Each structure stands twice: as structure tokens, then as C-alpha cells.
Structure 1
Amino acid sequence: METETLEDFYKKKFDWLPDNLQQNIGHFNVFRMADFIGPNARTVTHSRRNFYKVSLSHGDNIIHYADQSIKLSGTSLIFFNPLVPYKFERMSDDRTGLFCIFTESFFTEKFRGGLNELPMFAIGAKPVYALDEKQGDYIHDLFEKMLDEINSDYAFKYDLIRNYVSELIHYALKTQPSDNLYRHTDAKSRITSVFTELLERQFPIESPSQRFSLRSASDFAQRLSVHVNHLNRAIRETTGRTTTDHIAERLLSEAKSLLKHTDWNVAEIGYCLGFEEPTHFNNFFKKQTQTTPSSFRNV
């Protein structure tokens, strides 16, 4: 499944691209939800994106996020990490919310350690903050200020917008995340889906300097903030195969592709797939295929 880029987002919603869409300097924009949601729309799904999103929603809704299902009632502030797919089910007709989107480079100098170090963007964290009326009005005013500034001619408007988003984040950090969570009967399927998304997101390998980093069940469990036994059990019960089997199969598929379609040497391919020594890669490949990488390449 392909990643939704900022270009995809703008072409799908507007059929145009903004002038300031330069990835290297960062990007930000803010919108009213009513401009995007039709009167009969009930479900919004995004598998992967290459940008962050913060949304202020109203009414009754359900968000399926990673292996969690979260009931929303009233006013909610929601933080979306690009790595984690989600599905948003609208249970009411309220479309008065707002949302903003931005790339991590927009905040490179604002948050040390990167956005993923913040609790609301960490994979496995609870991304929803329930707001009372006073809190909702405060956050709504911050979004309105962002809208005012982005449409202004002020030379330093993006510096001011960064301050507004930073204020929004710190305000959320001072509140407690919503605990109104319940596990769907398909929670195991959901965590398996997220595992698959994280596995696939590491591919394709496009240069010898790129490395496959999540190589074990423990690596994935840590990223998902679940116990490795819980992850292994969910995947086995859902697919009938082990976590290690899935990782090995995807590694082998990419190894075959790189051997056939690149001129990288076997050591380079093994290294970018996470094998520290060429012999480790050779042993893995031969165990899976009963032939060596070099022999496979020369067939």
C-alpha cells in the first residue's frame, strides 16, 4: 500500500499544489473540516502518510488507531503519527472541527529529539485527548489564529504558527489522554495489520546506505508498545504463522529483488537488509531457498 504524500493530499482535495510545498524547508497548512467532509461521509481512512496531522473534532465518533478503538464523544483533540494507519468513523453529523497538517522538518528546531519523542506522537501511545467546553474553546481559538495567520501577509507568520502549534501540544501534554478505550473483537487483526504496515514501510530498499532496522518480533513490539508475547500471539492466531516467518518472508522477497534488479554486491545487499556479516546473509538466504545469493543472481 502506497504512502499518501502531501502532493497526493492536495491533488485529491484541491487539484492544485501550494507554492510553499518544499519538503526541505518544511510544510504547514490548516483547514476547516467542513470543507472536506460531505454530508453523507461516514468513514475516512488513511493507511500511511508522510506528514503529521492534528485534528479538533466534535460529536460522536470512533477512531480505530493501531490496535486500539477509541470512542469519541463531545470535543476531542487527536494527534496522528504518519507511521500508524487509522480509520475514522463518524457517528454524528457534526463537521465543525478543524485540522492542521505539517512535516517534521517544519519543527526541526522546535522539538529536540523529533516529534516522535513527544507522548502524543509516540507509536503505541494514546493519541486522543478529551476536552471539556472551556478546553475546547481554547484549542478552537488556537486553530482560528493559525487560519488567520496563514492567510496573512505577515513576513514571520510561520514562526508565529509554530508557536501556536507548540502551545497546542504543550496544552495537551498538561491534560490526561482519554481512557475511554475498548478492544474490538478484531483487536488481534488490527495489531496484525499495524505490524504489516510497519514491516512494509521499510521497503523498498532504494540505496545501499538504507538499512532494514526492525528485524525481530521484539523490535516491532517495542515500536508498538506491546509485549512481544502479545504481538506473537495476535499474529499467529490471525495468520497461522509466526512473526518471524512474516519478517523472513519479506526479507527474502526484497533480497531476491535486489539480487535481480541491482548491481550491488552481495555484501552490500546483506548489509542493507540488516545482516552485519555477509556469511549471515548467505546462511539466511540458503536456508530459505536452498541456494546461495550469488547462485540465485546468476540463474
Structure 2
Amino acid sequence: MMHSYADTIIPNYAFEPEGTVGNAMFRINRNDCIVNYRKSDFLVPHRKNYYFMAFVKAGSSRHWIDMKPYVTQPNTFYFTVPSQVNLKEESNPMNGAVLTFTDDFLATDQSGSLKQLPIIQNLHNGHELVLNPADVSYIDDVLEKLIVEYNTRSYMQHHMLLAQMNVLLIYLSRLYVQQFGTQQPSQERQVLKNYLSKIDKHYTKKHEVADYASLLNLSAGHLSEVVKEQSGKSAITHIHDRLVLEARRLLFHTDYSVKEIAFQLGFEDASYFNRFFKRLVQHTPVDYRTSIRKMYH
């Protein structure tokens, strides 16, 4: 893969409404032709501050999510969440639909149930759902209803979009559980979800389990016990995993020095960060950057 390494921080692309048709929280388009991307759109690592979903009925393109390449396949549903690093390597004609929406859109669901759905929580860090013919037909039908509603701008449009998105996201969550495994809807499981959510928001500043226990109004001992029981990993391991994931992203996608990356991740001492990274990855940050770029260059 030919790579264009960013020499600045990985940009975080904001949600952009589509002219006067869309709204500030939701967008959907039917793709039945060649999409004319600009040359500058390719090989640029970036994040999106919104949810991205693509229903691919036909066509094949090559993309990256974090450090993993994906070649899109027909009759497959793809999805990413805001924190991930995306990169477009190759784009070919696609038949299907693309929809994007923000956290604010999900927050308009007063029940709060949308935010808790497996496809949105994505605890397994999945990116694709393989569809059978019945799934393709069902999803295609729901998306068509969404597209019609989105483009007509009828009375109470947002309520209709939200209702139809409930149907779509619940159906996708059913497929998610089938393909990635079940999740127990227990109080302990909710503690784990809340813990992982807090880590995702504060990992650059808070590196200790006690910090998160305080945010969740729990004792560090109880939090550690619940997290270990529910996830099979210690509470501190989840913090370390998140730090390592972000370090890998920055080493792969940017030309920041190790010292600069250490500072961004909340390490005051670059040498300590070096030892931390080597202990968990079995390579120094410099060695990791060299090997991963050589592998995919």
C-alpha cells in the first residue's frame, strides 16, 4: 500500500449536512453510480465525529479501519464509530446506500435505548455484517423508506426518521449479536459498558482504575471485580489496551515523534512510555512504526 503519512494530528472530520435537504444530525444517500472522489480524499488517515454506515449490494473498494485493511464485499453492511481512524485507499462503483448520523441524533431518542444497542455500543469492535438474501431485502426496504422520508421533508420528519432508524438499528443489532456473540443485559454488564465509555473519554488524562472508580461512584475494588468477571480482562488492562490502540494509530498514521505521542497520551516521561509500549507490544514504538509501515507500504 502506498501511504501518505500525515505530519499533523489526525484530522477529525465533522458531520456535514447535505445542502438544504438534510439536517444537522442525519444524512442518507442512495449510491447507484460512480462516486467522484477528489484525489486528496485518498490515503488520508482521519476520524469521523459521527457514525458511518454503508450498505453494499454490489461493488468492491478498499478501505482501512485503524490498522486493518478491508475490501468491501457485495451483500454486506459496514459500520464505524467516531473514535476509529479511517483511510480510503481505492474506490470503485458501488450499488447500495450510505447513512451517517451524530450522537445528538441518537440523543433525541428520549428512551435512551438507541445508545444501548449492540451495533452502537460495538463492544466487539466489529466493522461488517454479512447478510443473507432475506437480510438484504429487509434492510433495502427500510433504507428506501428512510431515503423517501429524508428527501420529502414532510411534517414531523425527524420523528419518522427516528422511528425508522429504531427499526433498522434493532435489526442490525440482532445480526450483530448473531455474528459476534450475545451480551448479558445485567447490571454488571452495564458497569462494564460505563467503564469502557469513561475510558474512551478520559484515557489521555486518567491512567489509573481508581480515577474511573471515582467517576462511576464505585470503589476501585468493586469496579475491578465486576470488570474482570464481565470481560475476562483486568480493569487496568482495558486502560492499557486503549492507550496502546491510540499509540498504534498515531505511530502508523502520523509522523509525530515518540516524545510527542507520549505527551498526547498523558505520559510525562517519554522513556516510561517507551517501556510501557514495549512491555505490551513486544516492540519499541520506533520498531513498531518501522515494521508496520514496511508491512503495508
| Structure whose CA Rg is larger | 1
Aligned to 1:173: 173
Distance apart, 1:56 and its partner CA: 0.7
Question: Paired residue for 1:269?
Answer: none
**1:179 and 1:242, CA in 2 relative to 1: closer, same or farther beyond 3 A?**
farther
**1:65 equivalent in alignment to 2:35:** no
Alignment of 1:223-234 (within 5 A): 228=240, 232=244
Q: Which residue of 1 aligns with 2:29?
A: 31
- Determine the structure 1 residue equivalent to 2:20: 18
Contact 2:60 2:72 in 1 (8 A): yes
Tell me, in whole angstroms, the C-alpha distance in 1 between the residues paired with 2:79 and 2:23.
22
Runs of 5+ in structure 2 lacking a partner? 1-9, 181-198, 213-232, 269-297
CA distance, structure 2, for counterparts of residue 48 and residue 230 of structure 1: 16
Contact in 2 for aligned 1:232/1:242 (Cα 8 Å): no
Partners of 1:155 and 1:234 lie apart in 2 by 44
Q: Number of residue pairs matched?
A: 210
Q: Is the Cα contact below 8 Å between 1:52 and 1:82 reproduced in 2?
A: yes
Q: Give the counterpart letter for 1:37 in structure 2.
A: V
> Is the CA contact (8 Å cut-off) linking 1:216 and 1:244 kept in structure 2?
no
Instruction: Tell me which residue corresponds to 2:102.
Output: 103
Give the corresponding residue for 2:15.
Answer: 6
Is 1:138 the counterpart of 2:129 in the alignment? Answer: no
Q: Counterpart of 1:261?
A: none
TM-score, normalised relative to structure 1: 0.53
**What residue ranges of structure 1 are gaps of 5+ in the alignment?**
11-16, 181-198, 203-210, 254-299
Task: Flag the structure with more relative contact order, 1 or 2, with Cα contacts below 8 A and sequence separation at least 6.
Answer: 2
Q: State how far apart, in whole Å, the 2-side matches of 1:151 and 1:70 are.
A: 31
Q: Residue 76 of structure 1 aligns with which residue?
A: 76
Contact 1:53 1:80 in 2 (8 A): yes
- Where does 1:125-204 land on structure 2 (aligned, <5 Å)? 125-176=125-176
CA 233–252 in structure 1, closer or farther in 2 if over 3 Å, else same: closer
Task: Give the match for residue 192 of structure 2.
Answer: none
Secondary structure of 1:120's partner? Answer: helix
Q: CA deviation at 1:145?
A: 0.8
Q: CA deviation at 1:5?
A: 1.6
- Compared CA separation, residues 149 and 135, structure 1 to 2 (3 A): same
Q: Give the superposition deviation at 1:214.
A: 4.6
Q: TM-score, normalised by structure 2?
A: 0.53
Amino acid across the alignment from 1:216: H
Letter in 1 for 2:159: D
Mapped partners of 2:49, 2:234: distance in 1:
21
2:291 corresponding residue in structure 1? none
Residue 98 of structure 1, CA deviation:
0.8
Corresponding position of 1:215: 206
Q: How far is 1:32 from its partner?
A: 1.9
Q: Percent identity?
A: 14
The residue type paired with residue 76 of structure 1 is: T
In 2, the alpha carbon distance for the partners of 1:161 and 1:120 equals: 18
CA distance, structure 2, for counterparts of residue 242 and residue 178 of structure 1: 42
